[in-house]
Chain A
Amino acid sequence: MARVLVVTSGKGGVGKTTSTAALGAALAQTGQSVAVVDFDVGLRNLDLIMGAERRVVFDLVNVIQGVAKLPQALIRDKRLETLWLLPASQTRDKDALTEQGVAAVINELRGKFDWVICDSPAGIERGATLAMRFADCAVIVTNPEVSSVRDSDRIIGLLDAKTEMAEKGQRIEKHLLITRYDPQRAQRGEMLNIEDVLEILSTPLLGIIPESQEVLRASNLGSPVTLCNATSAPARAYLDAARRLKGETVPMCIPTEQHRLLSRLFGRRAA
């Protein structure tokens, strides 16, 4: 049975697209079949983060409008056989996404994949509400910072009110993913710590992604961070989070970078 997961946050720039790519790849690395779907119509970027930007022919809006069939629009990842991308379109038409259209696409994806991961745009407009509309579970990406926590609280309210599951009287499963966490700064009281954020948002924790240079490096190279350098701290955190999504019990920890002597002496190799 396929699971539809929305990666959302309200606030922009907190790591939704990075997390969608990393979790999608991490699940695919365990052998699951995964489709990652970009809902950011007009400002697509998941294709770029996944390194598939030059292979986009058709997109989500084309499928909704009947211009292309779903299999024509899906792009298979070059590194992982079971990872697929459905890109967003670059149209400026805000009404390009329709509720029935999105419902039909999600339904078709449910029949083909173990996981459908919807990368929500920032904000609470049409794209964001449609990205969460048909989800069974949600990953709320939050930075330990006041505006991000506030917007996450707002999004949690929307997940409990505006999703199809909520309207049926069921509870959508919610998970908090704290990104860009700096344990040292939190220790010094300069940054909200994990307990603070969990207490304020009262949502179970999926994982803690430490602030890391590896995330920018992976995006520069067009590779999900879990594929780019699977032993890096953020990659290990995302791999653990993906196992928790699958229902495994994985002890919560904040991975730290392991600096190997050679890489320190000679600098990092380019991929």
Chain B
Amino acid sequence: MKILSLFRRRGSAPQARERLQILLSHERAAGRQPDLLAILQEEILATIARQITVERENVRVRIDRGAMVSTLEIDVDIPHTAGPAAPALASNRTHAAAIGRGAAAMASVSRGFG
């Protein structure tokens, strides 16, 4: 049936429209709150740094924008040698060691738009 689908090739314009609608709804929201991603990255980094010593480049924040829901992915590499930045709780240190390298935390952030 591939030959038939060649003749019925659907135009690409609907995809262009859909991609633009998703992108622009995000960019318009971002215009009101400048660089959400950079703010989140800084705040998350500061929160982690209060408990354990991590290199700046070992904290990655990514956002995947969807039509209804956006996914915020926080990826923190915690080396086994990482010690508490300050006198932290012992349970925290154990937890960090247990997660080990390449631990990823996922969080969903719903963004309000239709």
Contacts and interface: CB of A to CB of B under 8 A. Distances in A.
Contacts of A193: 13
B14 interface: yes
| Interface size range on A against B | 10 to 19
A149 interface: yes
Contacts of B31: 157
B20 A200 contact: yes
B27 A192 contact: no
A190 interface: yes
B16 A146 contact: yes
Interface string B38-80: 0000000000000000000000000000000000000000000
A251 interface: no
Contacts of A247: none
B95 interface: no
A191 B14 CA distance: 9
Interface string B1-29: 00000000011111011011101100110
Interface of A: 145-146, 149-150, 153-154, 157, 186, 188-193, 196, 200
Interface of B: 10-14, 16-17, 19-21, 23-24, 27-28, 31
Q: Which 7 A-B pairs have the closest CB atoms?
A: A189-B11, A196-B17, A190-B11, A189-B13, A146-B16, A153-B24, A192-B13
